[in-house]
Chain A
Amino acid sequence: MSAGSTALIARKSIRARWGRTLAIGFAITAGVSFVVGSFVLADSLRATFDDLFQELGEDVDLSVRSAQQFETDDARDPISVEIAEPIADVDGVAVVEPTLQRYAQLVDDDGDVITPAGGPTIGVSWLGDDGIQGVTIKEGEPPTGPDELAIDKATADAEGFDIGDSVSYITDVGRFEGTITATIGLGSGDSFGGAQLVALDLDTALEHFGADGMVDAIDIQVAEGADIERVQRDIADILPERTEVVTGEQVAQETADDVNQFVDVFGTGLLIFAFITAFVSAFIINNVFQITIGQRLRELALLRAVGASASQVRRMITFEALALGVLATVVGIAGGVLVARGLIFAFDAAGAGFPDTSTVLAVRTVVMAAIVGVGITMLSVIVPARKAGRIPPVAALRPEVGFVAMRTRRLVAGVVLTIAGGALFMVGLFARPGGTPGLITLAGGGALVLFLGVASLSSTIARPVTRAIGWPVQKLFKVPGALARENVARAPRRTSSSAAALMIGVALVSGAAVFASSLRSSLVDALESSVTADYIVTDRSFQGLSPVVSETLADVAELGAVTPVRGISGQVEGDTKNFGAVDPAAFEQLIDPDLRAGSIADLGMDELLVHTDPAGDLDLEVGSTVDVVYQNGVTGTLTVAGIYGDAFFGNWLISLDTLESVSTAPARDFFVIGKLAEGVAPAEGDAAVLAAMEPFPQANVQTNAEFRESQEAQINQLLIIITMLLAFAIAIAVLGISITLALGVFERTREIGLLRAVGMNRRQTRRSVRWEAVIVSIFGALIGIVLGTFLGVVLSLAVPDDVISQLAFNPSIIVLILVAAVLAGLVAALYPSYKASNMNVLEAIATE
C-alpha cells in the first residue's frame, strides 16, 4: 500500500476544493491564534515585568524594610527614616535611598483633580539622579525643596504640562503647589503602568505626604568591591526589631511575582476562552468533513472500485485533515503573535502604559498550538474518515447504498454522552474531588462532554422543532418560506450539527447570564437587607483612605453614625485570616450582619465578632477565646462577643480600639460608611457630605442606591467581558453555518436549477436560502438557551449561599440572544444565498 498515492490524492483534493479548505483552515487558525495569543500575551507580560523589576532593582543591592510574620497581601509597616543614618555609616555602604509612596493627585487650573484612565495616583520620594531606583529623567532637573516636583512624562504629554509650569497637587494632608522641574519615566517607558506620578525630594515628600517620619523601605547600594553579604550582616546587626535587610534581587523577584499573579489569572482566563473557541472550531471542522465526504461519496467509492483499500481511503481523508491542520496551525501561530501584539497595543492605548514589551513565543506555546491545531483537526476527522472507509465500492454505481453504509448510531452515543457529561459537571461542582483543579477539570470536561451529547441528541428533535420555528416563516414568505422550512427539516442531522457550534456559544453566554443575574440579585438582596448605611465612601487611589476622611465625615452634623472600615491580617491556628475593624456603636446602626448571638454595640477591647461558618469550624461560641498572631508579630487573645450570619464585611470583626492596640502601621481605611442623622432630609445630607468631601478627590462618595448600582454595574461588566470573549467562538459558529449552507446549496444545484427553471426568481431563491439559515440559527440558539440555563442554574446552586442565595433569570437577555441569532443567520446566509441565486439555470439542471 502506498503512502505516496494517498498523499497525492489528498493533496490534489485540498487544492481542488480551496474554498472549503480555506473555510476549515480559518476555523482551525482562529482557535489556534486565540490559544497562542493567550500564551504569548501572558508570557510577554511576565517577561516584561520580570525584566522591568530586575532593571529597576539593578542598582539596589540591599533593601531594609519591616519584617512580616507570615506572607500576606497587606502593605508592610513603614519604618522610621532615621534608620537611614546609621545604615549610611556601615562600612561598604555607598548610597542610601529611603523610599516612600503615598497618595498624591494633580489638580488642573480650574481646581478639578486630574484622574488617569485606569491607573492609580501616586506620590513618591525621589533623590533624582543620585538615586538608585529605576526612575529615569526624560527631561529637566530633579526637584529640590518644597516648591518643586517632577511628574511622569505620559501624564505631562496627555495633560499638556511643560517643565517650568506651576501645578497643584493634593495629598492626604492637604493641597500644595509647585513648579515642574522634570518629566520622568520608569526605565525606558514614559509611564508607570498607567499611574499618575508626582515625585518630590525626600524631605518634601515626608512633609507633604504626611508621612510622619516614616518611609516604606530604605534601598542601599554597596561600594564597589564591597562584600554584599558582609554588608548585609553588618546592617542586620544595627537594625531595630521587626526590621529586615534583604537583597535587591529578592525584592525585584517578589514584586514581579506579585504582578505576575495577576498576569497568570488574566492569562488563564483568556486561555479558557481560547480552548472554548478551539472546541467550537472542532465542531465546524467535523461537520464540514462529514458533509464533503457525502458529496465525494462516488469519488471515494470509485477509488475503492479501482483498488483502494478501506484503510487507504481512511488515510487519504486523514492526511487531508492533517495537512490542513498543520498548515492552519502555522498560520495560527503567526496570527496568535499578532493577536497578542495587538492586545498589548490596545492596552497601551487604553493607558496601561507598558514599557517596551518583548514578544515571547515559548516552545511550550508552539507545542500547545500544534496539539490544539492538529489535535482538534485529527479528532474532528476520526468519525468522517471511518465513515469514508465504510463506503462500499458499489456506491460508485449506486450512491444510495453508500449513504446507508455511512449511517451511524448516534442516539445511543448521544444519550450516554449527555448523561455522563451532566453527571461529571455536577460531581465536579458539588462533590469537588481534588479541590479547585479537580473542580475545573471535572466541571469543564463534563460541560464539554455534555455539549457533545446534546449536539448529537439534538438531531432527534431537529425535525419537529425546526418545523415549528419555520411555521411563521412559511406563513410570511409562502413558497420560499416553505422551501426553507422543508430544507432544514429534511436533513435533521446536518441541521443539528451545523447548529451545534452556535448552540455551544449561546449556551455559554446564557449560562453566564443566569449566573450573573443570580449573583446580582443575591447581592442586591444582601445589600438591601444588611446595609442600612446611607453613604458609602470608597477609595479611588488604590492606597487606602487617610483617616482624615472618616474624621471629617464624623464631624458632619447631618450624619448620625459614621465608621471607617480598616483591616489587618492575622493567623488563627496557623491559617491567615483578614480581620476587619469598625466602630461598634456606629456599625450597629449602619450594618445588619444577621447577628445570631451576642451583640455588636458591646464589642469591646480584645473582643471579636465572628461569622457563623468559621465559628462552626473552630467550635467557637460567645465567650470562647481565640489566639491571634498578627502580621507584624504582635500577639493577642480575642474573646468572642457575637456570632453573625452575613459575611458581607468578612468573617472576623474587631473594634477600632482593638486594632489600634495591636497595629504598628498608620491607619488606612478600605472605605467609610455613614448614616443620616435623625430628621435630616436626604438632599440636605447629600449636599453636606459632598461639601465635606470636596478636599478629598480620592474619596468616592456614593449613596446606598448608587453603591448598589455600581456593584450591579460591575457584574454586568463581567457578563459583557465574558460575552465579548465568547464572540470569537460565536463568529466561528456563524461561519460554520455559512459553510454548511454553501455546501448544501452546492449539493442542491440541480434542484435549485429546476426551481429556477419553473419560475422561481432570484429574489425568492435568495430568500429561501436566507430563511433556511435563520431557522438553523434559531434552532441552535434555542437549544443553547435551554442547555445554558441548566448549566447556569447548576453553577449558581453550587456556589455557597453567602454569594448566591437565589436564582434569577433575565428574560431580556434571552430575547437579545434570539434577535442576535436571527442576525447571525442572515449574516451566515450572505454568501450561500448569493451563490444560489446566481446559478446558471441550464448548467444547474445538467449537473448530475
Chain B
Amino acid sequence: MTTPTPPPPPPAPSAADGPVSVAGSIAAAGTVDARKTYGIGDAQVHALDGVTVSFETGKFTAIMGPSGSGKSTLLHCLAGLDTLTSGAAYIGGTYLASLDDKAITELRRTQVGFIFQAFNLVPTLTANENIRLPMMLGGESGDTAWVDQVITTVGLGDRLRHLPSELSGGQQQRVAVARALASRPQIIFADEPTGNLDSVTGAEILDFMRRAVNEFGQTIVMVTHDPLAASYADRIIFVGDGKITGEMADPTTDQVIDHLKSWT
C-alpha cells in the first residue's frame, strides 16, 4: 500500500519553543528519552526504557509490540493520561510535564482525541451527545459544519438518538471515532480500536480512520497487535521491552507478519 499525498496539515501551534521537527515535517507529538517505572526495588518494571519517538502531522502511525512491551504505556503517556517517570512527552508545541491537571485536561479536550478498545461512550448519553461531549464540556458548540460533516460520514442516521447500549459494537466504535474527530484535535490516539470487533466491522473502522487521515489530514497514532490493522498505517513503530525495536514505512500485511516472525 502506498501513502497518498496528505493535504496540508491543520495550522500547527507555534513550534518556536516546541520539540524538534523530524524529517522535514512538523511533529504532532512525541517523546524524548521517555522512561516509566512501576514498583520499587527488585519488583521494578521498566514499562518504558528510554523511548524517543515522534509522530508526523497528517500521518497514520501504528505502534506494535507484544503484550507487556510498553506500547499502551507509551500511548497513555503521550496522550497525557499518564505521567512519565523521567524524560519528556509533547503534543504540538507543548511539553506535558510543564502542565498542571487543569491545563492537561484542557489540552485533552481541545488537542487530543481518543478511541479505546471498549467502553468508549458515556452510557447515559445518546450517540449524538457522545460525539459532541468534548465540545459540550468546553461550553462551546464547536465547528458546526465540521461536526455535521463528521456525523454524516459516520453514517449512523436515525440511530444517532440512541443510547450506546442500543448500538452494535461496530456502531459504538464509529461513534467513538466521530467523537475523536469532532473537536478537530491535533492528534488522535487509538488503543486497539478494533480489538473487540469482528474482522469485517474492524476493517470498516480502520477504513474510516484511514479516510480521516487522507481526506481531513488528521494525525492518528494507533496501538495494535493485529498486522492487518497495522497495515492501514503509513508507518509502524515496533516496541519491545520498553524500547523501540524498529520501524517500517508504508507497510503491507505480509511485511508486518514477516517482521513479527523475525522476532521469534
Q: Which residues of A contact B (CB under 8 A)?
A: 1-5, 8-9, 12-13, 15-17, 298-299, 302-310, 312, 392-394, 396-397, 848
Q: Is B179 in the interface zone, CB < 8 Å from A?
A: yes
B68 to chain A, nearest CB (A): 14
A/B interface sample: 29 pairs, CB < 8 A = A5-B136, A5-B139, A8-B129, A12-B124, A12-B125, A16-B123, A17-B124, A299-B124, A302-B120, A303-B122, A305-B81, A306-B109, A306-B114, A306-B134, A306-B137, A307-B133, A307-B134, A307-B138, A307-B183, A309-B102, A309-B137, A310-B101, A392-B81, A394-B82, A396-B81, A396-B116, A397-B116, A848-B118, A848-B119
Most buried by B among A302, A307, A392, A394: A307
Residues of B within 8 A of A17 (CB): 124
Chain A, Cβ-Cβ closest to B102: A309
User: Given known contacts A309-B102, A393-B81, A848-B119, is B109 in contact with A9 (CB within 8 Å)?
Assistant: no
**Contact between A1 and B122 (Cβ–Cβ < 8 Å)?**
no
A325 to chain B, nearest CB (A): 20
User: Given known contacts A393-B81, A394-B82, A397-B81, is B124 in contact with A306 (CB within 8 Å)?
Assistant: no
Cα distance A305–B108 when bound, in Å?
7
**Contact between A306 and B108 (Cβ–Cβ < 8 Å)?**
yes
What are the 7 closest A-B residue pairs judged by CB atoms, nearest first? A307-B109, A2-B139, A5-B136, A16-B124, A12-B124, A394-B81, A309-B105
**Contact between B105 and A2 (Cβ–Cβ < 8 Å)?**
no
Q: Is B250 in the interface zone, CB < 8 Å from A?
A: no
Chain B, Cβ-Cβ closest to A2: B139
User: Given known contacts A307-B109, A393-B108, is B122 in contact with A8 (CB within 8 Å)?
Assistant: no
Q: Is B56 in the interface zone, CB < 8 Å from A?
A: no
**Contact between A303 and B137 (Cβ–Cβ < 8 Å)?**
yes
**Contact between A308 and B137 (Cβ–Cβ < 8 Å)?**
yes
Chain A, Cβ-Cβ closest to B191: A397
Cα distance A539–B34 when bound, in Å?
92
Residues of A within 8 A of B123 (CB): 16, 299
Q: Which residue in A304, A309, A397 is a CB contact (below 8 Å) of B76?
A: A397
Q: Is B241 in the interface zone, CB < 8 Å from A?
A: no
Q: Digit string of B193-223 for contact with A (CB within 8 Å is 1, else 0)?
A: 0000000000000000000000000000000
User: Given known contacts A392-B81, A848-B119, is B124 in contact with A15 (CB within 8 Å)?
Assistant: yes
Residues of B within 8 A of A2 (CB): 136-140
Residues of B within 8 A of A312 (CB): 137
Chain B, Cβ-Cβ closest to A389: B101
Q: Is B226 in the interface zone, CB < 8 Å from A?
A: no
Cα distance A4–B138 when bound, in Å?
10
Q: Is B186 in the interface zone, CB < 8 Å from A?
A: no
A180 to chain B, nearest CB (A): 72
Cα distance A747–B47 when bound, in Å?
31
Q: Digit string of B77-111 for contact with A (CB within 8 Å is 1, else 0)?
A: 00011100000000000000000011001101110
B123 to chain A, nearest CB (A): 6
Given contacts A1-B139, A306-B134, A308-B137, 11 further A-B contacts (CB under 8 A): A2-B137, A2-B140, A8-B129, A13-B124, A299-B124, A305-B108, A306-B109, A306-B179, A307-B138, A394-B76, A394-B81
Q: Which residue in B105, B110, B119 is a CB contact (below 8 Å) of A302?
A: B119
Residues of B within 8 A of A848 (CB): 118-119
Chain A, Cβ-Cβ closest to B130: A306
Residues of B within 8 A of A304 (CB): 105
Residues of A within 8 A of B191 (CB): 397
Q: Is B31 in the interface zone, CB < 8 Å from A?
A: no
Q: Is B57 in the interface zone, CB < 8 Å from A?
A: no
A299 to chain B, nearest CB (A): 6
Residues of A within 8 A of B106 (CB): 307, 309
A293 to chain B, nearest CB (A): 14
Cα distance A393–B72 when bound, in Å?
14
Q: Which residue in A16, A306, A310 is a CB contact (below 8 Å) of B133?
A: A306
**Contact between A307 and B125 (Cβ–Cβ < 8 Å)?**
no
**Contact between B116 and A307 (Cβ–Cβ < 8 Å)?**
no
Cα distance A115–B129 when bound, in Å?
72
Cα distance A8–B128 when bound, in Å?
13
Cα distance A302–B134 when bound, in Å?
11
**Contact between B124 and A307 (Cβ–Cβ < 8 Å)?**
no
Cα distance A2–B138 when bound, in Å?
6
Most buried by B among A304, A306, A393: A306
Residues of B within 8 A of A392 (CB): 81-82
Chain B, Cβ-Cβ closest to A311: B102
Residues of A within 8 A of B137 (CB): 1-2, 5, 303, 306-309, 312
Chain B, Cβ-Cβ closest to A1: B139
Residues of A within 8 A of B118 (CB): 848
Q: Which residue in A15, A299, A393, A394 is a CB contact (below 8 Å) of B122?
A: A299
Residues of B within 8 A of A9 (CB): 122, 124-125
Chain A, Cβ-Cβ closest to B122: A299
Chain B, Cβ-Cβ closest to A16: B124
A74 to chain B, nearest CB (A): 69
Residues of A within 8 A of B183 (CB): 307
A247 to chain B, nearest CB (A): 67
Residues of B within 8 A of A8 (CB): 129, 136
Residues of A within 8 A of B120 (CB): 302
Cα distance A5–B134 when bound, in Å?
10
Chain A, Cβ-Cβ closest to B111: A307
B241 to chain A, nearest CB (A): 20
Cα distance A312–B119 when bound, in Å?
20
Cα distance A3–B137 when bound, in Å?
8
Cα distance A236–B126 when bound, in Å?
84
Cα distance A784–B102 when bound, in Å?
44
Cα distance A396–B136 when bound, in Å?
19
Residues of B within 8 A of A309 (CB): 101-102, 105-106, 137
Cα distance A466–B80 when bound, in Å?
43
A298 to chain B, nearest CB (A): 5
Chain B, Cβ-Cβ closest to A303: B122
B226 to chain A, nearest CB (A): 18
Residues of A within 8 A of B122 (CB): 9, 299, 302-303
Chain A, Cβ-Cβ closest to B185: A307
Q: Digit string of B214-247 for contact with A (CB within 8 Å is 1, else 0)?
A: 0000000000000000000000000000000000
Chain A, Cβ-Cβ closest to B112: A307
User: Given known contacts A2-B137, A4-B139, A394-B82, is B124 in contact with A298 (CB within 8 Å)?
Assistant: no
Cα distance A5–B183 when bound, in Å?
16
Residues of B within 8 A of A298 (CB): 119
Residues of A within 8 A of B124 (CB): 9, 12-13, 15-17, 299
Residues of B within 8 A of A307 (CB): 105-106, 108-110, 133-134, 137-138, 183
B28 to chain A, nearest CB (A): 18
A319 to chain B, nearest CB (A): 14
Cα distance A101–B222 when bound, in Å?
96
Cα distance A1–B109 when bound, in Å?
11
Q: Digit string of B139-180 for contact with A (CB within 8 Å is 1, else 0)?
A: 110000000000000000000000000000000000000010
Chain A, Cβ-Cβ closest to B132: A5
A641 to chain B, nearest CB (A): 83
Chain A, Cβ-Cβ closest to B101: A310
Residues of A within 8 A of B133 (CB): 5, 303, 306-307
Residues of A within 8 A of B72 (CB): 397
Residues of B within 8 A of A1 (CB): 137-139
Chain B, Cβ-Cβ closest to A3: B139
B137 to chain A, nearest CB (A): 5
Residues of B within 8 A of A5 (CB): 133, 136-137, 139
B80 to chain A, nearest CB (A): 8
Residues of A within 8 A of B82 (CB): 392, 394
Residues of B within 8 A of A303 (CB): 122, 133, 137
Cα distance A5–B133 when bound, in Å?
8
